[in-house]
């Protein structure tokens, strides 16, 4: 079993898709091992997306991610990181495969419904960002 980290982003929370997205996550074989509804401050969002700080869309991304609440969660499954990237689909929902979470629920390349870690190492870093090495999880 391994783990990945996800966020349900402000567009999907605001559009009332939390329940449908969690259902799809569970139906795809992931167990939710930690979860919270929270809201990112500007400095949280800047830190979380630091890797993109040189990109042209960084400012828009930080603004968007602080617009409303998000759901942060740690998910467990064999091959969790790669399988979750398949389940969420391409970054741009216009290019996402049929049936993926982004195809079903995202509104734009920025407001793309969900985050999914891109490696085991980043899954740990991102989980710790929200759940602070909490031993219960
Ligand atoms: P991901 O791993 O599929 O989430 O994609 P990236 O790591 O490349 O980008 C992180 C996030 O930045 C994406 O999920 C989008 O919310 C946002 N993003 C990526 N590319 C663009 C872009 O070209 N324009 C805008 N406005 N946002 C983008």
Three-state secondary-structure class, residue 75: strand
Residue ID of nearest Cα to ligand 1 atom 16: 110
What are the residue ranges spanned by the domains of the chain?
Answer: 2-130
Mean pLDDT of 24-28: 98
- For the entire predicted model, the pTM comes to 0.96
Q: How remote is the C-alpha of 114 from its chain's centroid?
A: 4
Q: How far apart are alpha carbons 100 and 35 in whole angstroms? A: 21
Three-state secondary-structure class, residue 93: helix
Mean pLDDT of 27-42: 98
Q: How far does the chain reach from its first CA to its final CA, in angstroms? A: 14
Write out the catalytic residue numbers: 115
Task: Indicate whether residue 61 lines ligand 1 (CB < 6 A).
Answer: yes
Residue ID of nearest Cα to ligand 1 atom 25: 110
Residue 136 above 90 pLDDT?
Answer: no
Query: Homologous superfamily of 2-130 in CATH?
Result: Nucleoside diphosphate kinase-like domain (3.30.70.141)
Q: How far apart are alpha carbons 130 and 88 in whole angstroms? A: 20
On whether the CB atoms of residues 21 and 84 are closer than 8 A, the answer is: no
Residue 71 phi/psi, 5-degree rounding, is -110, 125
On whether the CB atoms of residues 117 and 4 are closer than 8 A, the answer is: yes
62 falls in which pLDDT band (50, 70, 90)?
Answer: very high
Query: To 5 degrees, how large is the angle CA 122–CA 67–CA 45?
Result: 30
Mean pLDDT of 102-125: 97
Centre of ligand 1 to C-alpha 91, Å, is 6
């Amino acid at each position: 079993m391994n783990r990945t980290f996800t966020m349900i982003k402000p567009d999907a929370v605001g559009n009332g898709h939390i329940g449908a997205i969690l259902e799809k996550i569970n139906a795809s074989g992931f167990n939710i091992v930690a979860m919270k509804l929270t809201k990112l401050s500007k400095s949280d969002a800047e830190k979380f997306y630091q890797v993109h700080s040189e990109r042209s869309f960084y400012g828009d991304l930080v603004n968007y991610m602080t617009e409303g609440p998000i759901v942060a969660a740690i998910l467990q499954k064999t091959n969790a990181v790669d399988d979750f990237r398949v389940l969420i689909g391409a970054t741009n929902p216009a290019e996402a495969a049929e049936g993926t979470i982004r195809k079903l629920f995202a509104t734009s390349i920025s407001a793309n419904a969900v985050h999914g870690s891109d490696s085991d190492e980043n899954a740990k870093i991102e989980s710790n960002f929200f759940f602070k090495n909490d031993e219960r999880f």
